[in-house]
Amino acid sequence: MKINKIHVENFKSLKETTVNFPNKTAIVVGDNEIGKSSLLEAINLGLTAQLNGRNIAYELHPYLFNLSASSEYLAELKKGVVLPPPKILVELYLADHDDLGALKGSINSCGEDCPGVSLTIEFDPKFEKEYETYIADPAAVTSVPIEYMKVVWRTFSDQDITARSLPVRCSLIDATAMRHDSGANRYLTDVMSSYLEPHDLARLGLSYRKMKDLFLSDPSISAINAELEKAKGSVSEKTISIGLDNTARAKWEAGVIPHLDSIPFSLVGKGEQTSTKIKLALEKAEGSRILLVEEPENHQSHTNLNALLESMFNKSGENQIIVSTHSSFVLNKLGLDGTVLFDGCTGATLTELPPDTKNYFLKLSGHDTLRLILSRRVILVEGPSDELIVQRAYKDKHGVLPLADGTEVISVRSLAFKRFLDVAKLLKIDVRVVTDNDGDIAKLKKKYEDYLGVEGILISFDEDEKASTLEPQLVKYNGRNRTNEILGTEFATDEALIKYMEGHKTDCALKFFESDTEIVFPEYIKHAISK
């Protein structure tokens, strides 16, 4: 089963958001504080009616409502405009599936005929009189009055939903959370509950209750209760005794502590906790699971992260995985074509990425693609020496280093230029490529023919085939004497100087970067750093 689209209104940082998920695996990326966590929370809310592991009805507070929407509501009240409080809306549009016939309908904000669910937190008309009294003095209203709200959870066919009636199951794994012991236990327990069959859960609950009954039959407890009984009359007219809580709030979930190798789950490493939660959620998904994972790279070594991602990829089956991440490794490993570039309102995708480019990043997952995807302007260079020279040229020209100006300089192997350009072309990112001509201009133009003239893409190179790489270009524009001065060398010929520079590329580039001498930069580099 798969979510095709989510539409959210007024939930936390998401004022009005619509995101499509074209692939079974989706990797949500975006700037910090843009709402990636809220997006995953909204998905989980729509499929479980839960927030923080509890029914949303018990988790209502004014800060669930989008700040902008709340401020607009309060401002209108102060103007004397009577209107209902803002409404939170979460709609999940699901792909057609034989098991989802009961969810199919067109009762949604888009009018689409498809399976789906909607959850709203909205004003309850039964409180209309109380609400009118409450807002009679607008100055006293400082937040959304959640006391007058209700939760409505329905299918697109306009039927009420219960947790048991919904055939789609969802798990939210938040690897960023540093929870206290009980929270960590509850967090895994939620996953365990979805892993176990109903008859297993029934047996567990019954055994837990029997254990409590055995507690009361213990002779020591009987003796203590006999002693407490003596207080009857002096403390209370009723008999005082010790017992264990058997109410609904004291079910096995509250008392059973998960262990790994006999160690309480909350005391094992955070990385092991994350891996266990994810793998357990995947183990018995049976085609009905939506797995939401917040930053799986947290608390993981490179080796363990690779193993975890391999497990997620291999065991996902027909189930959908939606991941948020700050890691290029995660992005590349799970499939770059599943990228959803989230800006808080919509999500751009890379589904049209050429298959060979997708496979390239999948196999060579160390490339820093995330820096490219999240940048407005990028300069691609061939190696560290080119990066240092471009950094220095940019600072001399604009007064600041590129990053301070919102420009990323990314060093990639020349063979990867075209792969990065495929991504930039789809996302319409402003990219400049600084490259050597390698002594063959015709071959270079042929190599980049699909990108020459494309808006936002500049392939910058020098047409002097005799000065085919960076080092002879620097000597050409600065002369031998100035170059010797910068490097602290005394070479008598250009040939000897260039040979030395080519043998010490990074060291020489660093001296150029740190030099107090005025540097003349090649034209193709000056072209690339222009705004």
C-alpha 293: how far from chain center: 8
Q: Rounded to the nearest 5 degrees, what angle is found at the Cα of 278, between the Cα atoms of 329 and 300?
A: 45
- If you average pLDDT over every residue of the chain, what do you get? 85
Which pLDDT does position 364 carry in this prediction? 82
Which pLDDT does position 12 carry in this prediction? 95
With CA atoms as reference, report the closest residue to 85 among 50, 51, 125, 39: 125
pLDDT at residue 201 above 60?
Answer: yes
High-pLDDT (> 90) share of the chain, %: 51
This prediction's pTM: 0.78
Question: Which has the higher per-residue pLDDT, 428 or 252?
Answer: 428
Which pLDDT does position 198 carry in this prediction? 66
Work out the number of other CB atoms within 10 angstroms of the CB of residue 351. Answer: 13
* pLDDT tens string 50-91: 998 789 998 999 999 999 999 999 999 999 888 899 999 999
Which pLDDT does position 260 carry in this prediction? 59
Which pLDDT does position 179 carry in this prediction? 44
- Please give the Cα distance from 109 to 303 (Å, whole number): 45
Which pLDDT does position 496 carry in this prediction? 97
High-pLDDT (> 70) share of the chain, %: 80
C-alpha 499: how far from chain center: 47
Give the pLDDT band (50/70/90) at residue 184: very low
- Please give the Cα distance from 515 to 531 (Å, whole number): 24
Q: Rounded to the nearest 5 degrees, what angle is found at the Cα of 217, between the Cα atoms of 215 and 222?
A: 100
Which pLDDT does position 386 carry in this prediction? 96
118-122, 173-177, 311-315, 422-426, range with greatest mean pLDDT:
118-122
Place of tokens 């299918």: 155
